[in-house]
Amino acid sequence: MTKLSVNINKVATIRNARGGNNPDVVQVALDCEAFGAQGITVHPRPDERHIRYQDVYDLKAVLHTEFNIEGNPITKFNDLVMKVRPTQVTLVPDAPDQITSNTGWDTKKNQTFLTEIISEFKEKGIRTSVFVNADPEMVEYAAKAGADRVELYTEPYASGYEKDPLSAVAPFVEAAKVARSLGLGLNAGHDLSLKNLRYIHEQISWLDEVSIGHALICDALYLGLEKTIKRYLECLS
């Protein structure tokens, strides 16, 4: 079964726009769990422009499902993950000024660095995933670095889906097969939506987890959060 992890960064963005605690990020996460989500994802950035570091501690204290923390493994981020000890940490090569993640790791070039970081997290019992493009070589070097999983960066699939779904998904199927052959777990995320989620899941049925935030929160404005989560889960059924 492919799990749905809801990224709640956008909820924090709305809260931070006005100050105070409305919407309540922790309560929204608990509601997502109650409505059927099997995980919660956060991506705290150094400037805390959406999820704050304190949110991560607050969430850890109350969540019942899998907790996934994404981010660039700088010292501040690493210290947070070591203290919180989530179910999973996803390593993403974000620059501080990036609006959103827009590429995966060059796992070959950064193999030594990633090997050291992954080893530290795994010693604490934290499952470690590496964010990669749909490139078999990048998947292979993630495995060599000791990753438990890779997360495929799916924006290229999403952008090409409406024009030619088969061509858009083809490199992701290839990368996914390589991951499976190497014994790596497989996640996917970025720009997945109700329009394109079912198809990629049909083509890569062995996905362990999809992490979805922006599209899901946008859909919830029209459908409501509970109905939206159920619709996403139906795409994975």
Give the span between the Cα atoms of 138 and 21, in whole angstroms.
40
**DSSP labels, 118-147:** HHHHHHTT-EEEEEE-S-HHHHHHHHHTT-
Cβ atoms of residues 119 and 99 within 8 Å? no
Active-site annotation holds for 64: no
d(CA 32, CA 228): 10
> Is 43 a catalytic site residue?
yes
Site of tokens 């078999």: 136
- One-letter amino acid identity for 9? N
Q: 11 with 52: CB under 8 angstroms? A: no
- Determine the Cα–Cα distance for residues 202 and 87; give it in Å rounded to an integer: 26
Query: Which residue type does 109 have?
Result: K
Q: Which of 33, 43, 66, 201 is the catalytic position?
A: 43
Q: Are 33 and 64 spatial neighbours (Cβ–Cβ below 8 Å)?
A: yes
- Tokens 């995966």 identify what position? 104
Structure tokens at 187: 């996640």
Please tell me which residue in 33, 50, 66, 70 is annotated as part of the active site: 70
List 66, 190, 201, 209, catalytic entry: 190
For the record, the structure tokens of 102 come out as 């827009």
- Let me know if 199 is exposed, middle or buried by CB neighbors in 10 A (0-12, 13-18, 19+): middle
Give the residue numbers annotated as catalytic, written as ranges.
43, 70, 190
